[in-house]
Amino acid sequence: MRYDMVERKHFNQVCLFARQYGISFTLQELEIIRANTQYVVLPPHSILMEQGKLVKKLYFMNRGIARLFRVHNGVDHTLGIESTNYFLSTPLLLQNGQESTCALESLSEIELLVWDLPSVTILKNSIPRMFAMEMAIMDRLLAWLQDNQVESRCMTAEERYYKLIATQPKVIQSVPLKYIASLLGIHHDSLSRIRKGVSDRGSR
């Protein structure tokens, strides 16, 4: 499957991600990637991946905020909020034809690079270093999962909130408080008390 060629500037962030893992692409390889990539801008609350449904696309976020969540026994649990330039779904789920146990939605207007399974297959068959790229994505995912587990067991909600301020200020500034409270695993009232404490410290 081929798409209209995406402008080169839209690949700046994903190439920066690749270089962090020592991966760089030739001009010829970049043209193959461009020919098999979609670029889309979606409004807030667009569903990118549905819980219990097959994962059909791989996303890289150039701009915006996205939320990973799971509905369990009728309760919506926010598992992660991402505002950095990163992959929002994994090649593993896409290629294995697995149903997702979670869902993804945009919390703001979101700018994405998109690949479906045929385009991912073409890229892997055409560019051998795509296997290294796949390992880099999985490495980052495993690090994220480990960090989340450590933080949930070893850090208080207040400490996690301060870390969120330091690492993802956009989330603090623009994401509804109900999602932040859910991410921290606390009630909305508890989050209000933490926020008041932050405000009091700032005014001293």
Identify the three-state secondary structure at position 65.
coil
Alpha-helical (H) ranges within the chain are 12-19, 27-35, 91-96, 117-126, 130-154, 157-167, 169-174, 177-184, 188-203
Query: What is the rounded distance in angstroms from the CA atom of residue 96 to the CA atom of residue 141?
Result: 17
Tens of pLDDT along the chain (204 residues) come to 445 579 999 999 999 999 999 999 999 999 999 999 999 999 999 999 999 999 999 999 999 999 999 999 999 999 999 998 999 988 777 888 778 999 999 999 999 999 999 999 999 999 999 999 999 999 988 888 899 889 888 999 999 999 999 999 999 999 999 999 999 999 989 999 998 877 656 555
pTM, full prediction: 0.89
Burial of 20 (0-12, 13-18, 19+ CB in 10 A): exposed
